[in-house]
């Protein structure tokens, strides 16, 4: 049996991993959760809450931050770095696909 923590192969009757010491007896009793079942979060530009291109609303949704905070940080970043933020925003506008995201807080 493989250890879920370190991946070391252990005997089937082992209760603990020989390398890291993790209790693998519990892992036998509980079915492993599939990573495939978890919904993966995509980074997209949101069409619902956009002011210009939806880049800030996409960042806010992806990072679970407040939309107004992301917009304020973008403006502050633009004031301090100028063209770097501008070009980064333009590149994200071109590269990141857009989708409806629903209401973002």
Q: Is the pTM of this model over 0.75?
A: no
pLDDT band at 105 (very low <50, low <70, confident <90, very high): low
| DSSP secondary structure string for all residues of the chain | -B-TTT--B--TT-SB-TTT--B-HHHHHSPPPPSTTSPPPP--EESSS-SSSSHHHHHHHHHT--HHHHHHHHHHHHHHHTHHHHHHHHHHHHHS-EE------
Comparing 64 with 27, which gets the higher pLDDT?
64
pLDDT at 40: 66
Domain boundaries, the chain: 1-37, 45-99
pLDDT (average), residues 52-61: 85
pLDDT band at 103 (very low <50, low <70, confident <90, very high): low
Tell me the pLDDT of the chain averaged across its residues.
Answer: 78
């Amino acid at each position: 049996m493989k250890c879920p923590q370190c991946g070391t192969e252990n005997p089937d009757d082992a209760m603990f991993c020989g390398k890291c010491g993790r209790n693998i007896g519990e892992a036998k009793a509980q079915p492993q959760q599939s990573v495939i079942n978890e919904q993966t979060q995509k980074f997209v530009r949101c069409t619902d809450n956009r002011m210009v291109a939806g880049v800030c609303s996409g960042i806010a949704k992806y990072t679970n931050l407040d939309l107004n905070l992301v917009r304020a940080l973008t403006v502050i970043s633009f004031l301090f770095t100028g063209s770097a933020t501008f070009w980064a925003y333009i590149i994200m506008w071109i590269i990141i696909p857009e989708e409806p995201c629903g209401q973002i807080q």
